[in-house]
């Protein structure tokens, strides 16, 4: 294991992944951290008295880009916005399906203006923009809480995304949505407790979910890498997979040994400054090549 550089279910879970590797995860959208900082508190990890090192944040962000490209992936960027420090967490912008983009509706007022800039980028790049039909008190926070799974979507709810959004998402995209209830506020988005690796495997943190949701994941993932709570709190599930390279913010030794045994190369790409705002590697990236078949 080494670093490439510092640089309640809505339906039956059904069969596991189809054979073959993930059909997405080679192309990502990212936003430079020019204006990143911890200026408010909207999750348990954020504390305004903890100052992010701006120079180190940019270095870590830049090295993440390099690591994705070294692994064979591609990165597109959008312009940062001075008044929106969390726009750097591109995963929350929405969800891509081919040339369709489902734009998020953020729960907290501090982040709601991001949606305007996110939708503008995707529209300028030829995407059809989809806004979910939601009641005024329902929210959807994009790929922080959703994963494309072949012709289905695995979606989290409980803290930032509402269950009603799962119904609306399924109707808008014509897909089956499998719902996972998040119960630990430290794992306020699904992407802090779940990372698909291939057609049979995923890194999972069951402590983040209720019992029924654990059963959904059990049916969906035949070979899980089950994290202990202390491992999950390192944000190691908040990782991305490019081919056979798992790019992680931190890799506990046991997790690394299992991944290597399974034939993966682990790239540790530190993002300590972004962890101060409750975001890791996957939070900083939005997959642009997702296809719901």
3-state secondary structure of 292: coil
Q: Hey, what long-range contacts does 108-114 have (CB within 8 A, 24 or more apart)?
A: 108/42, 110/40, 110/42, 110/86, 111/42, 111/84, 111/86, 113/81, 113/83, 113/84, 114/81, 114/84, 114/86, 114/87
From 31, 150, 267, 283, the catalytic residue? 283
Sign of CA dihedral 70, 74, 78, 84: negative
Residue 236 appears among annotated catalytic residues: no
3-state secondary structure of 261: helix
Residue 54: both structure tokens together: 């701006």
- Residue 21 backbone dihedrals phi, psi, to 5 degrees: -75, 175
From 31, 143, 166, 189, the catalytic residue? 189
Residue 62 appears among annotated catalytic residues: no
Let me know: does 98 contact 287? Beta carbons within 8 Å.
no
Closest CA to 29 of 114, 110, 113, 92: 92
Q: Where are the beta strands (DSSP E) in the chain?
A: 27-30, 74-77, 94-97, 100-103, 128-131, 146-149, 152-157, 176-181, 194-196, 201-204, 223-226, 240-242, 245-248, 265-268, 286-287
How far, CA to CA in Å, does 105 sit from each of 128, 155, 162?
17, 15, 10
**Measured between alpha carbons, how far apart are the two ends of the chain, in Å?**
34
CA atoms within 13 A on the CB side of 206: 13
Active site residues: 189, 283
């Amino acid at each position: 294991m080494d670093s490439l550089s510092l640089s309640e279910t809505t339906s039956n879970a059904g069969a596991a992944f189809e054979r073959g590797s993930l059909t997405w995860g080679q192309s990502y959208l990212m936003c430079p951290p020019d204006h990143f900082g911890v200026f408010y508190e909207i999750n348990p990890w954020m504390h305004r008295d903890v100052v992010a090192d701006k120079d180190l944040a940019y270095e870590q962000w830049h090295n993440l880009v390099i690591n994705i490209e070294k692994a064979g992936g591609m990165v597109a960027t959008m312009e940062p916005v001075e008044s929106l420090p969390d726009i750097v967490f591109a995963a929350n912008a929405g969800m891509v399906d081919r040339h369709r983009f489902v734009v998020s509706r953020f729960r907290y007022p501090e982040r709601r203006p991001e949606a305007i800039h996110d939708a503008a980028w995707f529209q300028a790049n030829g995407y059809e923009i989809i806004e979910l039909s939601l009641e005024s008190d329902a929210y959807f926070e994009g790929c922080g809480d959703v994963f494309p799974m072949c012709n289905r979507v695995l979606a989290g709810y409980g803290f930032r995304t509402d269950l009603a959004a799962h119904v609306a998402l399924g109707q808008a995209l014509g897909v089956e949505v499998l719902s996972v209830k998040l119960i630990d506020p430290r794992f306020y988005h699904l992407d802090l407790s779940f990372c698909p690796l291939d057609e049979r495997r995923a890194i999972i943190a069951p402590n983040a979910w209720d019992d029924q949701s654990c059963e959904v994941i059990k049916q969906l993932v035949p070979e899980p890498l089950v994290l202990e709570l202390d491992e999950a709190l390192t944000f190691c599930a908040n990782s991305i997979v490019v081919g056979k390279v798992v790019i992680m913010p931190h890799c506990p030794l046991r997790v690394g040994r299992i991944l290597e045994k399974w034939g993966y190369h682990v790239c540790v790409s530190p993002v300590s400054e972004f962890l101060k705002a409750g975001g890791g590697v996957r939070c900083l990236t939005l997959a642009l090549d997702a296809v719901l078949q």
